[in-house]
Amino acid sequence: MKNLSALINAELDGQIVTTSYYKNPTSATAVGNWFDLSMSPGTPTPNYYATTPLTSTQFGQNESNGLYVGQAISPKTRGIRQIGMTMKNTGSIRGTPFILCDYLMYYSFCDMGFSDWQYMNNTTTLPRYDFGQVMAVCVGSPSGVGNPRFQIKYTNQDGVSGRISPIIATGTQSSVGTILNAASNAINSGAQAAGPFLPLQNGDIGVRSIEAIQFLDSDYGLVSLCIVRPICSAAVINNNAIEKDFLIHAGGEIPIVKDDAYLNFIFFCNDNSFSGSPVMGYINFVFN
Amino acid sequence: MAIQSMDQIINTITSGNFWRADFNKNWLSASAQSAGSWYYLAAGGGSPTVNSVLGATTNLAQYNTSFGTTATADTAALGGSISTTTFTDTTHNSGRFTVGMQLTGTGVADGTYITALGTGTGANNGGTYTVNISQTVTNQTITGTGNVNAIYTGGTNNAVSPATKYLVNGSVFTGSSSGAPAQMLLVDVLSQFTISSVTTTGVQNLTNQSAWPRYADGVGVRAFLVPSVIMGTGTSTVRLNYTNTDGVSGRLTPASPALPTLTSTAAVGLIPHSGTGAGKFAPFIPLQEDDKGIKSVESISFSTSMTSGCMNLIICKPIAYFPITSQGVPAERDFVNQLPSLPVLQDGSNLQWMMMAGAATPTNTAYYGNLETVWG
């Protein structure tokens, strides 16, 4: 779909799939952190990152009960036509950005109390795309005292193994679902947080697989490393609703979503805890 | 000639080919909504009032609906009576009685209509229904007439041909603090299949098939389920067998990632394959890969008996979305300058509202707004 005419004709021709979502964070989210909505109750059903520890596990709409993107249509192309989103929060929300991601693969239950390299068992590869970005998601809350640091070894977008990320500091308040590498208050011995995705070794733009993780400062807690492909972004302002029409806002270029994509949102908590503040809406996919 | 410029829009407005429809639709009085689920507001009162054709037609038979479509039900000769505000269908004859149906018969007071189901579920002998006017009517043939009660948008029965009607703008809001946020969806309801045989499992063939009254090629046409009588226990999946827009029959609701799962004891108005949890798809039943719409539906299949109630398969064409943000804040759409531009409303359109609840919306919550149309 390379022009407005093709997109509109596809929509008028009924080549559209509509899906709705409703996610209600139950964990208290700290201001300044990015948060993984895939773990929250609602529709799609929660992702618990539950798998064999340190072993690569793929995500997919069919395998993981993801947000419904429609049936496989390859060789046709699927794109996002519109995203509608509303939020309700008893406090004020000022500029809450969201990123819709295709979750590709994860490695679960990395132990924050273990100071040696923890090596991953890569039994699978990315199901879609050649590479993605990495999030370190809290699945067992650490103390966060002293902003513990960590780094990962990975294979980059070109298939070069043994690459090592910069050292990242985690935040001090980390409920389940928090993206640990992305706390704005995390500074320790020159290491800083960076989010929502882990910074990579100089020259790298993405990750094909994760080889190992090392926690430089001992803490208790469990982390899942998740490789995602960011698809598009949106923002909700002041308890408001948004309807992002990609034909207008993106000049006719719409984000592409692959067959069997496992879609979910991450968001930046800008003001007040989002616990009990549901995010809901719909996505219209058009295919051609 | 179709409208193709701002000048033409302005000319049609100044020439009077313009209509503003103000509406309010109430969520039902029987049950609150659940956040994350979709609902069909046609089952609720307001202006326009309740769609009393919903659930009123023959089991499994296609019943096309347009603006002004009616459906009737009646008792057998001398088979009906009214005592104070209770109408008793002692011996049923035909059709199905529904909430909102106007009742007529010898001695029946003008303006009598059904306000609620009692023991009656539409066609059961001895079923009782509550009516709005206290009266005494003994052993008569009592007839009920239902109407789709859609939003009027201009022209005789919403028809303006040979001109073409366009939706130019609209707004929706709620005055209830628990009525927002919400996602509202305006649909043109083309047809319905009343399904009273909800205890039957396996394939049930649908009957009386004919072309949809609008969008006969099926492009963009979708389907959803909604009860008109509260459902019993039983968590069933559903599968449609339909013909797609290319005329290919035997198309099936996909089983992957899962067949749509229907909520047990689904309330009237709830879209039972929506909500939170696995096997939930909303607002519409998924189509097989590459399909652009539904040209006809041949059968429906439930996996488990739902023990009681009455379900309806609704066939519709989505028109426009309106996201409601906060209490008292209208969700406004400018269909001239935004995309999609100038949605077309076909002659006879039966416009109804669906909504996704963002909160536990209380009973009797009202949604207000307006739609403006032009034609030329």
User: For residue B247, what pLDDT band results from cuts at 50, 70 and 90?
Assistant: very high
Whether chain A has a CB inside 8 Å of the CB on B232: the answer is no
Please give the angle made by the CA atoms of B360, B362 and B364, to the nearest 5 degrees: 150
Each of the 288 residues of chain A gets a pLDDT tens digit; together they read 667 778 888 888 999 999 999 998 887 777 788 899 999 999 999 999 999 999 999 999 988 888 999 999 999 999 998 888 887 765 555 567 889 999 999 999 999 999 999 999 999 999 999 999 999 999 988 777 778 899 999 999 999 999 999 999 887 767 889 998 877 666 677 677 777 899 999 999 999 999 999 999 888 889 999 999 999 987 766 555 566 666 556 665 789 999 999 999 998 887 667 787 888 889 999 998
What does the alpha-carbon distance between residue A116 and residue B73 come to, in Å, rounded to a whole number? 77
Distance from B263 to chain A by nearest Cα, in Å? 14
What does the alpha-carbon distance between residue B16 and residue A286 come to, in Å, rounded to a whole number? 36
- Strand partners for B207: B61
- Closest residue in B to A68 (Cα) is B281
- Closest residue in B to A15 (Cα) is B292
What does the alpha-carbon distance between residue B255 and residue B172 come to, in Å, rounded to a whole number? 36
- Of the candidates A42, A62, A87, the beta carbon closest to that of B256 is on A62
- Which residue in A61, A88, A90, A253 has the most chain B C-beta atoms within 10 A of its own C-beta, making it the best mutation to test that interface? A88
Contacts of A237 in chain B (CB under 8 A): none
Whether chain A has a CB inside 8 Å of the CB on B274: the answer is yes
| B155-210 confidence digits (pLDDT tens) | 999 999 999 999 999 999 998 888 888 899 999 999 999 999 999 999 999 999 99
Half-sphere exposure of B180 (CA within 13 A, CB side): 26
* Residue ranges of B 347-376 with Cβ closer than 8 A to chain A: 356, 358-359
- The pLDDT score that the predictor gives to residue B138 is 94
Confirm if A276 and A24 have CB atoms less than 8 A apart. Answer: yes
The residue written with tokens 């007040």 in the block is A272
What does the alpha-carbon distance between residue A30 and residue A183 come to, in Å, rounded to a whole number? 9
Number of H helices, E strands in chain B: 1, 23
- Which residue in A9, A86, A285 has the most chain B C-beta atoms within 10 A of its own C-beta, making it the best mutation to test that interface? A86
User: For residue B240, what pLDDT band results from cuts at 50, 70 and 90?
Assistant: very high
- The pLDDT score that the predictor gives to residue A31 is 77
- B165: tokens are 């009607």
| B343-368 confidence digits (pLDDT tens) | 999 999 999 999 999 888 888 899 99
- Residue B22's CB is within 10 A of a number of other CB atoms, namely 12
- Cβ distance of B276 and A42 shorter than 8 Å: yes
- Cβ distance of A86 and B283 shorter than 8 Å: no
| B126-146 confidence digits (pLDDT tens) | 999 999 999 999 999 999 999
* Residue ranges of A 22-61 with Cβ closer than 8 A to chain B: 22, 24, 41-43, 45, 61
- The pLDDT score that the predictor gives to residue A21 is 93
Distance from B42 to chain A by nearest Cα, in Å? 20
Contacts of B180 in chain A (CB under 8 A): 86, 88
Distance from B171 to chain A by nearest Cα, in Å? 14
- Cβ distance of A241 and B287 shorter than 8 Å: no
Whether chain B has a CB inside 8 Å of the CB on A181: the answer is no
Contacts of A288 in chain B (CB under 8 A): none
Distance from A72 to chain B by nearest Cα, in Å? 6
Burial of A217 (0-12, 13-18, 19+ CB in 10 A): middle
- Cβ distance of A86 and B325 shorter than 8 Å: yes
* Residue ranges of B 3-62 with Cβ closer than 8 A to chain A: 35-36, 38
- Strand partners for A246: none
* Residue ranges of B 60-99 with Cβ closer than 8 A to chain A: none
- Cβ distance of B323 and A11 shorter than 8 Å: no
- The pLDDT score that the predictor gives to residue A90 is 53
Contacts of A19 in chain B (CB under 8 A): 281-282
- Closest residue in A to B252 (Cα) is A71
Residue B62 has pLDDT above 90, yes or no: yes
- Cβ distance of A240 and B183 shorter than 8 Å: no
Confirm if B141 and B79 have CB atoms less than 8 A apart. Answer: yes
In chain B, the N- to C-terminal Cα span, in Å, equals: 7
Residue B259 has pLDDT above 60, yes or no: yes
DSSP assignment of B291-311: --BEEEEEEEEESS---S-EE
- Of the candidates B181, B256, B283, the beta carbon closest to that of A280 is on B181
Residues 6+ apart with CB under 8 A from A228: A101, A102, A103, A104, A132, A133, A134, A135, A197
Residues 6+ apart with CB under 8 A from B169: B332, B333, B334, B335, B336, B371, B372
Between the alpha carbon of residue B10 and those of residues A5, B13, B160, the distances in Å are: 25, 5, 18
